[in-house]
Amino acid sequence: MTRAQQHISLGLLLSSVYLSCSLGLIPLPSKIQDEVIPYLPFWVIVSFGAYLLFKLGLGVFTFNDVPDAYKELMGQIDQAKTELRAKGVSVD
């Protein structure tokens, strides 16, 4: 089973459970049925957004922790500059 199939299966499972809860097919206390279940999709979207922002911030925070990649990239930039100068292109 591929990763996409796993995500689709999980999404279908969760959406069917949510639909069952919101339609009242699964008996829940009325307080949960009226005050919690309608707001679950919004809560999931907000939580997923917070998770993605955390992952983005962590990636930006740890970006400078790869000095070997930095050195390799700077070497490639220097090599490209010298090749362009050899062809008569002004780089600076």
Q: Assess whether pLDDT exceeds 80 at residue 22.
A: yes
Is-contact 77 92, C-beta < 8 A?
Answer: no
Domain that holds residue 58: 39-87
Read off the pLDDT of each residue in 29-53 and give the average, rounded to a whole number. 94
The predicted structure's pLDDT at residue 65: 66
Whether residue 12 lies inside any domain: the answer is yes
48 and 29 share one domain? no
Read off the pLDDT of each residue in 45-50 and give the average, rounded to a whole number. 97
Read off the pLDDT of each residue in 65-82 and give the average, rounded to a whole number. 88
Whether residue 92 lies inside any domain: the answer is no
Whether residue 31 lies inside any domain: the answer is yes
Whether residue 5 lies inside any domain: the answer is yes
The predicted structure's pLDDT at residue 25: 93
Q: Assess whether pLDDT exceeds 70 at residue 30.
A: yes
Whether residue 83 lies inside any domain: the answer is yes
51 and 79 share one domain? yes
16 and 29 share one domain? yes
CA distances from 11 to 14, 17, 22, 86 (A): 5, 10, 16, 56
The residue with tokens 């008569």 is 88
Compute the C-alpha angle 84/86/90, nearest 5°. Answer: 50
Cβ atoms within 10 A of the Cβ of 18, count?
15
| 20: confidence class by pLDDT, cuts 50, 70, 90 | very high
- Three-state SS at 10: helix
Question: Which one has a higher pLDDT value, 66 or 53?
Answer: 53
Tell me how many domains the chain contains: 2
4 and 23 share one domain? yes
Is-contact 37 19, C-beta < 8 A?
Answer: no
